[in-house]
Amino acid sequence: MTVQGHKAGAALAIAADVRAGRRSAVSVVTAVIADIEVRDTRFNSVTRILGPAAVAQAEEVDKAVAAGRDPGPLAGVPFGVKDLFDVRGEVTTAGSIVLRDNLPATRDAEVVERLRAAGAVPVATLNMDEFAYGFSTENAHTGTTRNPHDPARLAGGSSGGSAASVAAGLLPFTLGSDTNGSIRVPSSLCGVWGLKPTYGQMPLRGVYPFVASLDVVGPMADTVEDLRAVYGIMAGGVHVGEPDVGDVRVARLGGWFAENISPELAAGIDRVMAHLGHDRVIELPEVARARAAAFLISAAEGGNLHLPRLRRRAMQYDPATRGRLMAGAMLPAATFVQAQRFRRWFRGHVHAALAHADVLVAPTTVGVAPRIDQPSITVNGRTVSARANLGIFTQPISLAGLPVLAAPLAVDGLPQGIQLIGAPGGEAKLFAVAAELQRAGLAACRPIEAGYARKDS
Amino acid sequence: MSSAARLSPSAPVAGAGGHDDRKGPPVADMARIIGLSIPAACMPDVVANTALLQGYADLVSGFALPDDCEPAYEYTP
């Protein structure tokens, strides 16, 4: 099967096989679960396997196929969700023991509901930083997720389990959330495709919140085609257009976004810009303050959200999260309001920049994934905490609420990624550029071992 | 602007909270105002994070905004 001129992604290939009766949904799902049980011991990307419910749903897909009914465009495709999406019958933990006594969800999160209606089968919940507050997926309750390309290194976060399970080839697509970079950072460090849609576009019903002003949810996948298909279903079945990439004006972000990046990453961006035939460089103003504003808004809203529980049982929280939430809860109103006013100011300047380009290219992180035993990066000659600073290029964009497609560069060695940043609602142009980079071999996701693609079941 | 010194505002040298915390924000007082009791074991980390946020707050507050620049509560990208 081909999709829009390209070889189909793994998810679409599975769906094509199931729809045509070449594979059963039950065989796909049971094989994926078995693969996770065997191989995820190395990566710790999965927190729960949804075995009986997944098999039961797969049986329904197979019945639909046998009866000649349409099983949906993602028939029998297994997927995983960051453990902050409601899955009916399961307790949504948000990566914490603080919520473990909550009642199980009585219905799916809206985006999960839409994917299930399209035939996709949730098979696992995935690891994350506690309450999505971190860039590393180091979790005191559920452990650290390891990077499949080098298990001695971080997967990034907070949607680290979502990225690692795709990079490992355990799942063809997953769902994550992105407040300050939590889809983009792990996508970059694990070498997978990821999409942070425009703020406000995706329904958040059934998604455990972190920062209402910034939260979005989106997919991560092994190909642009799968990413686009899943995104379209998550967005309510919208058709994602495909403008001619030649008509898309592309520029590179300079200034803040050109500093501190590795030579290999800089060369990768050079190659991308040369291939696309654009040499314009745009600088956004006051990027350091934009990052600071996103940091403050996150701290204040996250802290306020958890304040009632912090008053009663603070010691149940992950130590790495607790102090940050407490400090955020105490932020003065004047600080929070100033940050929100600055956001308004920054929005105006971002829109002015977007008058000159449809897609802005920027690095996602400064370089490759840090080692777990040495979780630091170098910024302006200083060694700083990876956990706090991996998002230096993603947080300013979060403040503006823009859509961003995280593209994995096709590089030798450890993965590195770039952000393709669009105007609000400009996802189709991001997909056009991403598809061209994939077609040209400049960007690629290379799963370690795609267990779901085996057809021996 | 140069961001070098602003990336990770320094934590205070002293780690204690409360009235004697002259090098950092009055964390114990701030916590009391919102009904939060900070366990002693957590205080150094909360103080460090409060100082970090204060650095970012200084950065944002150091930028003059026009009076008609409203907060982005109902934000549309």
What pLDDT shows up at residue A8?
67
Spatial CA neighbour of A299 closest among B2, B19, B9: B9
What pLDDT shows up at residue A9?
85
Interhelix angle for A427-439 vs A224-234, to 10°? 160
Q: Is A296 on the interface with B (CB under 8 A)?
A: yes
Residues of A annotated catalytic, as ranges: 82, 158, 182
d(CA A116, CA A110): 10
Q: Is A184 on the interface with B (CB under 8 A)?
A: no
Read off φ and ψ for residue A363, nearest 5 degrees. -70, 160
Distance from the A319 Cα atom to the nearest Cα atom in chain B, whole angstroms: 8
Q: Which residues contact A284 (CB under 8 A, 6 or more apart)?
A: A253, A255, A256, A257, A290, A349, A350, A353, A396
What pLDDT shows up at residue A3?
36
d(CA A244, CA A406): 20
Spatial CA neighbour of A86 closest among A50, A32, A35, A37: A50
Distance from the A199 Cα atom to the nearest Cα atom in chain B, whole angstroms: 7
> Domain holding A152: CATH number?
3.90.1300.10
Q: Which residues contact B66 (CB under 8 A, 6 or more apart)?
A: none
Residue A5 has pLDDT above 50, yes or no: no
* pLDDT, average across residues A258-275: 97
Answer yes or no: do A200 and B76 touch at CB < 8 A. Answer: yes
What pLDDT shows up at residue B21?
43
CA dihedral A52, A32, A186, A262 (to 10 degrees): 170
What is the CB neighbour count within 10 angstroms for residue A207?
25
Tokens coding A310:
């912090």
A328 vs B contacts (CB less than 8 Å): 49, 53
Q: Is A188 on the interface with B (CB under 8 A)?
A: no
Q: Is B68 on the interface with A (CB under 8 A)?
A: no
d(CA B30, CA A328): 11
Q: In which element (H, E) is residue A123 found?
A: strand A121-126
Question: What are the structural domain ranges in chain B?
Answer: 13-61
What's the distance, Cα to Cα, between the start and end of chain B in Å?
A: 25
| Chain mean pLDDT for chain A | 96
Residue B2 has pLDDT above 60, yes or no: no
Residue to substitute from B1, B2, B6, B7, interface A, most A β-carbons within 10 A: B7
How many residues comprise chain A? 457
pLDDT tens digits for range A180-230: 999 999 999 999 999 999 999 999 999 999 999 999 999 999 999 999 999
Answer yes or no: do A335 and B7 touch at CB < 8 A. Answer: no
Distance from the A414 Cα atom to the nearest Cα atom in chain B, whole angstroms: 26
Distance from the B26 Cα atom to the nearest Cα atom in chain A, whole angstroms: 11
Q: What percent of chain A lies above the pLDDT cut of 90?
A: 94
d(CA A247, CA A395): 28
At A413, is the secondary structure helix, strand, or coil? coil
Q: Is A345 on the interface with B (CB under 8 A)?
A: yes
Range of the domain at A307: 8-453
pLDDT tens digits for range B22-40: 567 899 999 999 999 999 9
What is the CB neighbour count within 10 angstroms for residue A375?
19
Burial class of residue A41 (count of CB atoms within 10 Å of its CB; 0-12, 13-18, 19+): exposed
Q: Which residues contact A101 (CB under 8 A, 6 or more apart)?
A: none
* pLDDT, average across residues A393-422: 97
Decide if A76 contacts A166 (C-beta within 8 A). Answer: no
At A5, is the secondary structure helix, strand, or coil? coil
- Could you please report the per-residue DSSP string of B33-57? HTT-PPPGGGHHHHHHHHHHHHHHH
Q: Which residues contact A162 (CB under 8 A, 6 or more apart)?
A: A45, A80, A81, A82, A126, A128, A174, A175, A176, A183, A186, A220
Q: What type of residue is B67?
A: D
Decide if B42 contacts B36 (C-beta within 8 A). Answer: no
Which residues share a beta bridge with A422?
A359
Residue with tokens 């990066």, as numbered in its chain: A377
Secondary structure letter of residue A106 according to DSSP: S
Question: In this structure, is residue A2 part of a structural domain?
Answer: no
Residue to substitute from A257, A316, A331, A341, interface B, most B β-carbons within 10 A: A341
Tokens coding A435:
């598809």
Residue A286 has pLDDT above 60, yes or no: yes
Task: Tell me the C-alpha to C-alpha distance, in Å, between residue A51 and each of A77, A125, A126, A182, A262.
Answer: 14, 11, 14, 27, 42
Answer yes or no: do A345 and B69 touch at CB < 8 A. Answer: yes
What pLDDT shows up at residue B1?
32
Q: Is B56 on the interface with A (CB under 8 A)?
A: yes
What pLDDT shows up at residue B76?
84
Residue with tokens 């099983």, as numbered in its chain: A71
CA dihedral B23, B25, B26, B31 (to 10 degrees): -150
Decide if A14 contacts A455 (C-beta within 8 A). Answer: no
* pLDDT, average across residues A132-151: 97
Answer yes or no: do B60 and A296 touch at CB < 8 A. Answer: yes
* pLDDT, average across residues A158-169: 98
Confidence category of residue B10, pLDDT binned at 50, 70, 90:
very low
B48 vs A contacts (CB less than 8 Å): 323
Is ipTM strictly over 0.95? no
Q: Which residue of B has its CA nearest to A398?
A: B77
| Domain count across chain A | 1
pLDDT tens digits for range A38-48: 999 999 999 99
Answer yes or no: do A388 and B8 touch at CB < 8 A. Answer: yes
Q: How many helices (H) and strands (E) does chain A have?
A: 14, 19
